Chain A
Amino acid sequence: MTNGWTDIRNADVVLAMGGNPAENHPVGFRFVMEARRNRNAKLVSVDPRFNRTAAVADRFVQIRAGTDIAFLGGLINHALTHNRYHDEYVRLFTNAPFLVSEQYAFDEKRGVFAGWDDEKKAYADKSSWNYELDAQGFAKVDPTLAHPRSVFQVMKRFYSRYTPETVSNICGCNADDFVKAADLITSTHTPDRVGTIMYALGWTHHSHSVQLIHAAAMLQLLLGNIGRPGGGLNALRGHANIQGGTDCGMAYHNLPGYIAIPKADQESLASFIGAVTPKPLRPNSMNFWTNTDRFVVSQLKAFYGTAATADNEFGYAMHPRLPQSAPGAYENWSWAYIFDHMYRGDMEGFFSFGMNPVSNGPHSRKAIAALSKLKWMVVAENFEQETASFWRPEILELVDLKPEDVQTEVFLLPAANFAEKDGSFVNSARWIQWKWKAVDPPGEARADQEIVARIFLKVRELYQQEGGTYPDPVRNLNWWYSNPAQPSLDEVCKEINGWALQDVRDPAGAVTMRAGQQLGRFLDARADGSTLSGNWLYIGTYTDAGNLTQRRSHSDPSGLGRYPEWTVSWPANRRVLYNRCSADAQGRPWDPSRVGIAWNGQRWTGDTPDYTADSAPDAGLGAFIMLPEGVARLFVPGQFVDGPWTEHYEPAESPVANPLHPEHSSNPAVRAFSTEYDVLGKPEEFPIVCTTYRLTEHFHYWTKNNPYNVQLQPEFFVEIPEELAREKGIANRDPVRVTSARGSIEGRAMVTRRIKPMQVAGRTVYQIGFPIHWGFLGRGQQRGSLANLVTPTIVDPNSFAPEYKGFLVKLEKV
Chain B
Amino acid sequence: MNPTRRQFITSATIGGAAASLLGFDLTPAYAEVRELKIARTTETRSTCPYCSVSCGVILHTLGDKSRNVKPRIVHVEGDPDHPINQGTLCPKGITLKQNIVNDRRLTTVRYRAPGSRTWEDKSWDWAIDRIARSLKKTRDEKLRVKDAQGRAINALTAVGVIGGCTDTNELNYLLVKAFRAGLGVVPIEQQARI
Contact = CB atoms under 8 A, between A and B. Distances in A.
B54 interface: yes
Interface in A112-128: none
A290 interface: no
A47 B58 CA distance: 35
B187 A252 contact: yes
Given A334-B193, A393-B117, A436-B45, 7 more contacts: A237-B51, A249-B173, A252-B188, A362-B194, A382-B106, A412-B110, A438-B59
Contact of B138 (A27, A348, A381, A487): A348
Contacts of B5: none
A408 B176 CA distance: 25
Nearest to A481: B174
Interface in A557-575: 561, 563, 566
Interface string B156-194: 111111111111111111111111111111111111111
B72 to A, nearest CB: 6
Given A320-B156, A706-B95, A27 B85 contact: yes
Interface string A786-801: 0000000000000111
B91 interface: yes
By CB atoms of chain A within 10 A, which of B42, B93, B135 has the most? Answer: B135
A443 B48 contact: no
A696 B49 contact: no
B132 to A, nearest CB: 4
A419 B189 CA distance: 24
Interface in A407-458: 407-415, 417-428, 431-433, 435-440, 442-446, 448-449, 452-456, 458
9 contacts: A240-B51, A382-B105, A409-B113, A413-B109, A435-B46, A436-B45, A463-B136, A469-B143, A554-B81
Nearest to B51: A25
B173 A251 contact: no
Contacts of A712: 91
Contacts of A264: 147, 149, 151, 153
B127 interface: yes
A256 interface: yes
B134 A412 contact: no
A333 B189 contact: yes
B171 A423 contact: yes
Contacts of A240: 47-52, 54, 165-166
Nearest to A406: B115
A610 B135 CA distance: 44
A803 to B, nearest CB: 11
A474 B183 contact: yes
Nearest to A462: B136
A333 B193 contact: no
Contacts of A249: 172-173, 176, 180, 188
A538 interface: yes
Interface string B97-133: 0111010111111111111110100001001111111
Contacts of B170: 423-424, 449, 487, 489, 492-493, 496
B52 A361 contact: no
B36 interface: no
A403 B116 CA distance: 6
A423 B175 CA distance: 14
Given A346-B157, A436-B44, A438-B44, A417 B111 contact: no
Nearest to A29: B53
B165 A474 contact: no
Interface string A343-365: 00011111111110100111000
Nearest to A708: B95
Contact of A354 (B52, B99, B149, B165): B165
A403 B163 contact: no
Given A265-B151, A347-B159, A496 B173 contact: yes
Interface of B: 42, 44-56, 59, 61, 70-73, 81, 83-85, 88-93, 95, 98-100, 102, 104-117, 119, 124, 127-136, 138-145, 147, 149, 151-194
Contacts of B56: 433
A469 B160 CA distance: 18
Interface stretch (A62-70, A321-329, A505-513, A752-760): A321-329
B114 A458 contact: no
A76 interface: no
Contacts of B50: 239-240, 699, 702
Interface stretch (A85-93, A372-380, A626-634, A678-686): A372-380
A241 B168 contact: yes
B178 A245 contact: no
A108 to B, nearest CB: 33
Contacts of B117: 391-393, 403-404
Nearest to A265: B151
Given A319-B181, A412-B119, A445-B106, A241 B167 contact: yes
A445 B163 contact: no
A3 to B, nearest CB: 13
Size category of the binding interface on chain A: 35 or more
B155 A320 contact: yes
Contacts of B183: 456, 459, 473-474
B134 A439 contact: no
Contacts of B108: 414, 443-444
A408 B72 CA distance: 37
B83 A554 contact: yes
A458 B183 CA distance: 12
A412 B112 contact: yes
B54 A431 contact: yes
Nearest to B124: A444
A662 interface: no
A383 interface: yes
A625 interface: no
By CB atoms of chain B within 10 A, which of A346, A415, A452, A538 has the most? Answer: A452
A455 B132 contact: yes
A709 interface: yes
A247 B165 CA distance: 11
A470 B154 contact: yes
By CB atoms of chain B within 10 A, which of A350, A376, A393 has the most? Answer: A376
A458 B117 CA distance: 29
Nearest to A804: B194
A319 B51 CA distance: 33
B103 to A, nearest CB: 9
A697 B166 CA distance: 18
Given A473-B184, A707-B98, A801 B194 contact: yes
Contacts of A186: none
Contacts of B54: 240, 425, 427-428, 431, 433
A274 B136 CA distance: 34
B51 A439 contact: no
Contacts of B176: 248-250, 255-256
By CB atoms of chain B within 10 A, which of A5, A419, A425 has the most? Answer: A419
A392 B110 CA distance: 14
Q: Which 7 A-B pairs have the closest CB atoms?
A: A443-B107, A353-B163, A423-B168, A427-B54, A458-B132, A414-B106, A418-B49
A255 B188 CA distance: 11
B182 A239 contact: no
Given A250-B175, A391-B112, A456-B178, A245 B81 contact: no
A705 to B, nearest CB: 5
A779 interface: yes
B173 A534 contact: yes
B98 to A, nearest CB: 4
B171 to A, nearest CB: 5
Given A240-B48, A439-B73, A496-B169, A352 B139 contact: no
B102 A705 contact: yes
